[in-house]
Amino acid sequence: MKKTMIALAAVAAMGSASAQVTMTGGVDFGYIKNLAETSKGFANWGAYLDFSATEDLGGGMSVAAFMELNADSSRGAAGSVYSGDRSLTLNMPVASLTMANSRSGGNQSAALVGPHALWDDVFAHGVITRANVDAVVLAVPVAAGVKVIGKYVESGPDYAATPGTATTVLGFSYSGNGLTVGGYYNSSDFTDATKAALPAGYATTSTDLSVVYDAGVAKVGFGYDSARRGKASTDQAATLAGLSIPMGAATVGVNWGKRDAASFYTLGGQYNLSKRTNITAAYGNADSGTKATNEYALILHHSF
């Protein structure tokens, strides 16, 4: 870790003459229990560093770069420091073009607005999942608060070199007057090797939707994800919902999701000690349809 940070400092120093780089991050410690009870007790829940930089290209154009480094609790182990999201965005007067290495599952999960800080997050409950992806995203503003969005996404076991799935996405987003809406149609093309491992009758298309309304006294979200691409024909649609209520320095809320027999809910509360430091307590329950397990956490977080 120390060698990594020295190297990062050297890189930042070399680039300081030509670019303004902003570094932010956060550290979390607390008492946790995960769903499988393989992690239970006091632990470093997480730590991360975010680097961002922008450059004005003139003519109404700019470029923005972002990268994240994460550290897990396995001090000194291989992979204990690993890369998170990375992106490069070209902003133009009529559109923005983003190239990113990220994770899927972001739209429908936007509905889960309740505070939570659980070791097994909302993507680990069998209702919705995340996958590493490479993506090219074109966003075109067409009206006040409205964008039409097109994406090309590659994913798979070795997606960086030989993706097993290529997905084209067409959708829209709206943001204004406390309301945020996003909807997407997804169509996937699988390689022959990937097709051989898929179940009979699998879907190649899906739709997802998220709606979040912030009324000031409360924030409520609703999410929908149709039967998943690449899954058996018996796969069901998922519905998700979240509620967040501010109470001065505190915020409490709940998240819920269900797909077929699988379901989950989380209850959480966050108390802000300052603008950058908070305490979060959370409880989560996951039911696979045949077995229910729970998790909980009490976390102290500081961002910088």
Task: Please check the confidence at residue 153 and state whether its pLDDT lies above 90.
Answer: yes
- Does 88 score more than 80 pLDDT? yes
pLDDT for the residue numbered 22: 96
Mean pLDDT of 157-161: 67
Q: Is 7 left (phi over 0), alpha (psi -120 to 50) or beta?
A: alpha
What are the tens digits of pLDDT across the range 197-216? 999 999 999 999 999 999 99
Whether domain 29-45+102-303 has CATH 2.40.160.10: the reply is yes
Confidence check: pLDDT of 34 > 70: yes
Q: Where do we find the tokens 């946790």?
A: 32
How far are the Cα atoms of 57, 97, 101, 212 from residue 177, in angstroms, in the given order?
Answer: 32, 26, 31, 11
**Res 259 pLDDT > 70:** yes
Tens-place pLDDT, residues 74-84: 666 666 788 88
Considering the entire predicted model, what is its pTM?
0.87
Query: In the chain, where do the E strands start and end?
Result: 21-33, 40-58, 61-71, 81-91, 96-103, 132-143, 146-155, 165-176, 179-190, 205-214, 219-225, 238-247, 250-259, 262-272, 277-287, 292-303
